[in-house]
Amino acid sequence: MRTFWFNLMRLLVLFALAGLASAHTLQLTGVTVRIEGNSTEVNVVAHVPLLLGKDPAVNIPQRLQLQLDGQPFRPGSSATLKSDPLSDTVSWTAREARAAGAVVVSAPLFPDRPEDTTVVLVYRNGQLIDRSALNPAHPSAVIGETVFEVMRRFVQMGIFHILSGPDHILFVLGLILVGGAARRLLGVITAFTLAHSLTVSLTALGMTSLSPRLVEPMIALSIVVVGLENLLRRKANFEVRAWLAFGFGFFHGFGFAGALAEVGLPKQAIGWSLASFNIGVELGQAFIVLLALPLLGVIRRKSERVGDLVTQGTSALIVGAGAVWFVARILG
């Protein structure tokens, strides 16, 4: 269905733009916005005579009034330009490394020709979510997300971020590797959750910040410390472990906040998006715990000695990985 609407729009634009332009001939300009993952791509197809002899690479971005979550679209140096002599059109395409919850396209691109129309199509992750025709009677298109769509997007983002980050995975694994009573393990994981949720929220709201040059080495150091604690203590001290999880959780929170900074928070649903991202992180964290703990339990029930060897060996690998990352991030 999305292909149908995209092709129809292109067909209408090309047919309208291909005719010989006269002062009163209707012209269509096409604007296609594609939001995919953490980026937004914009394509504008315009009739050359409408540019009044000006450079399209300069004229089109000057005329394009596009906002993503209340901020102007900033394509930087990513723009490309293609011309089609047959239809006498130009196609301008640009991309910004930022996704958006709300999109606003304001006014026709060529207000000096009020009889002309700007056709706008907006896609999110391949799905057509809005189509509009802009003219003096309908000067802007406002495309937003429902609360459910915001929540779903940020939950998925939180899950993806923790499961795609080996440093976060190893830290959580290191916290639970020695096993213990469910209540004690829950206390350790809760301490980690409280700390990183706090820094994610404060950082995303602009209330605090910390340089990645400090955050990234500290995350690596946290992995080394929790691994060494597993190796050096014959029996886990869960109170100490909870404080370690809480203290280093702040730095992991700054790391999580970096993912949010790349996409930004939709202004119309800041609270929902923050809560959903944190929920996604917790779901990813729960997946790690629920996968690792039963497996470790089975091994320990089969043989306590083998269980200890697995714990010690895995902890040594965690220390090694953390040390390599720490050195690389300090020197990088």
Nearest alpha-carbon partner for 218 in 188, 249, 240, 263: 249
Segment 215-221 mean pLDDT = 95
Q: At 221, list the tokens.
A: 């150091």
Q: What is the pLDDT of residues 88-143, one digit of tens each?
A: 788 889 898 887 777 888 766 776 666 678 888 999 888 888 888 888 778 788 78
Residues 119, 134: Cα–Cα separation, whole Å: 6
Residue with the bigger pLDDT between 324 and 259: it is: 324
Residue 227 has pLDDT above 70, yes or no: yes
Nearest alpha-carbon partner for 54 in 30, 19, 81: 81
Residues 89, 50: Cα–Cα separation, whole Å: 10
The number of C-alpha atoms within 13 Å of 247 and in the hemisphere containing its C-beta is 12
- If you search the block for the tokens 């609270």, which residue do you land on? 271
Residue 258 has pLDDT above 70, yes or no: yes
pTM score of the predicted model: 0.65
State the pLDDT at residue 26: 52
Q: How many helices (H) and strands (E) does the chain have?
A: 9, 10
- Within 173-271, strands assigned E span none
Residues 273, 78: Cα–Cα separation, whole Å: 28
Segment 200-213 mean pLDDT = 89
Residue 53 has pLDDT above 80, yes or no: no
Nearest alpha-carbon partner for 13 in 40, 25, 33, 31: 31
Segment 67-94 mean pLDDT = 82
Question: Measuring CA to CA, how many Å separate 169 from each of 29, 176, 221, 228, 292?
Answer: 48, 11, 14, 16, 11
Residues 93, 83: Cα–Cα separation, whole Å: 12
State the pLDDT at residue 3: 56
Residue 17: pLDDT band by 50, 70, 90 thresholds?
very low
State the pLDDT at residue 21: 39
Residue 50 has pLDDT above 70, yes or no: no
- If you search the block for the tokens 């946290």, which residue do you land on? 222
State the pLDDT at residue 69: 74
